[in-house]
Amino acid sequence: MAKAISQYFKRIFDDYQVLVMINPQDFTGTELIVHPDGRIEKTDITADEEIFEDLEADEFKPCSALEFQLLLAKA
């Protein structure tokens, strides 16, 4: 079975940002919340097949895997 390539999304709010990584094969992933003080909160998530529509509706935009991975390394 081929390994799915994760997809990455980001939304910047007034004083923090949220980045999301989703595996499109099983809809699992990781959410990172970057707080104004630089603290990074990491949460494992499990979604359903509507996650991509939900992210679009919430105005998340695609972002790079590198940006996500660099922040994940600090979490």
Write the pLDDT tens digit of every residue in 20-64.
999 999 999 999 999 999 999 999 999 999 999 999 999 999 999
Q: Specify whether the CB–CB gap between 6 and 21 falls below 8 A.
A: yes
Q: Specify whether the CB–CB gap between 21 and 29 falls below 8 A.
A: yes
pTM above 0.85, yes or no: yes
CB atoms within 10 A of CB 67: 13
